[in-house]
A and B are shown apart, each in its own frame.
Chain A
Amino acid sequence: MLANYGYKDGSGDFFITIDTDKCDGCGACVEACPAKVLELVENEFDLDAETDVAAVTEEHKKKIKYSCGPCKPAHGYKTEDLPCVQACKPGAIEHSW
């Protein structure tokens, strides 16, 4: 399941997509994120699921453009180099911007 956390506003699209089928609940992304944007939650989308999955915290959902700012310097960055994306071995995390 593709969970898109974030928003689209006049200034652009700011979504972190977590593929819950790939996420194994290891929590490496939670540790890696310097802004504490991610957390592990119960997989409410699959009642048979046995492991938790990563999600964007309620606190950051509405401001990830700003929360993720420190990892996205104005002079340029590659989304595949972001700490959370790097930390995720199964490749479950994507950023839209």
Chain B
Amino acid sequence: MITAGVDCGSKNVRVVIVKDGEIMAQSMAPAGMDTANAAQEAYDKALAEAGIAAGDIEKVVATGAGKNEPGFKDDDVTEVGADARGAVHLFPDARTVIDVGAEEGRAIKIDAQGKVIDFAINEKCAAGAGAFTESMARALEVKLEELGPLSLESTQAIPMNAQCAVFAESEVVTLVHKKTSKQDMARAIHDAIADRITSMVRRVGIEEKIVLIGGVSYNIGFVKSLEEDLETKVLIPERPEFVGALGAALVAASK
């Protein structure tokens, strides 16, 4: 059976096509102003990559903030449900799933059967999501991809006082003037967001194995700070940003 999952995030739309539990194709398109359009674009790309036609897909399930947008979806599933399903598929012994996306952070607790028991969400505030690191990279005048490697070279932990991304930008600028090294500042940034994410995870309980998904998982500086805070290692899939769409495709196959 071939099914598709569409994850309509705030920044990007991602599509995964699955055949009998195996990934056939994964593609993405920037959400832009029109999520419905972006979803169609990502879907067409994925179909082309898989070498199949829309008619070959048995069912399409959408997830993400814009899950009602794609005109071609048959059903939808919550982000929490999709994340858990995708993560458990990749790591069957996962008990905690942490998803850090551009605009939202989520912590999900699942039982041995892969069923969601609890979840906590950080939303509508940039301080608890990837948007925080984006703002900070801008303030530091480094590329977002450089932020992680930079922080690994840090020699000391310095605290950040501001919580709000807007105020933290000013704090970063002040620290630059005080000649604090970019390395130490990058670490301070990651420590700050990791601290907030960890506190959210504690609300559902920290239980291994812990799977980290979402685009921010690519940031090795954040991962290091998070692992220090959690006092344990996290498992990261090869394409952490596609796990939600994968989960939706798997839900489509079982519904």
Contacts and interface: CB of A to CB of B under 8 A. Distances in A.
Which secondary structure dominates chain A's binding surface?
loop
Interface string B181-204: 000000000000001100110111
A36 interface: no
B205 A11 contact: no
A50 interface: no
Contacts of B128: 11
A69 B125 contact: no
B118 interface: yes
Nearest to A76: B118
Contacts of B200: 66, 69
A7 B203 CA distance: 20
Interface in B98-131: 107, 109, 117-120, 122-128
A62 B163 contact: yes
Contacts of B204: 73-75
A72 B199 CA distance: 11
B123 A11 contact: yes
Most B-side CB within 10 Å, residue of A69, A72, A74 = A74
Contacts of A62: 161-163
Contacts of A67: 199
A9 B203 contact: no
Contact of A11 (B109, B124, B199): B124
Given A10-B124, A10-B125, A11-B128, A73 B163 contact: no
A70 B125 contact: no
Contacts of B126: 10
B164 interface: yes
**Most chain A CB inside 10 Å of its own CB: which residue of B107, B127, B203:** B203
Contact of B199 (A9, A10, A69): A69
A72 B203 contact: yes
A16 to B, nearest CB: 16
A74 B203 contact: yes
A70 B202 contact: yes
B196 A66 contact: yes
A63 interface: yes
Contacts of B202: 69-70
Nearest to B199: A66
Given A9-B164, A66-B195, A66-B196, A73 B123 contact: no
Interface of A: 9-11, 62-63, 66-67, 69-70, 72-75
13 contacts: A9-B124, A9-B125, A10-B124, A62-B162, A66-B195, A67-B199, A70-B202, A73-B203, A73-B205, A74-B107, A74-B109, A74-B203, A75-B204
Given A9-B125, A11-B128, A73-B204, 12 more contacts: A9-B127, A9-B164, A10-B125, A11-B122, A11-B123, A11-B124, A66-B196, A66-B199, A67-B199, A74-B119, A74-B203, A75-B117
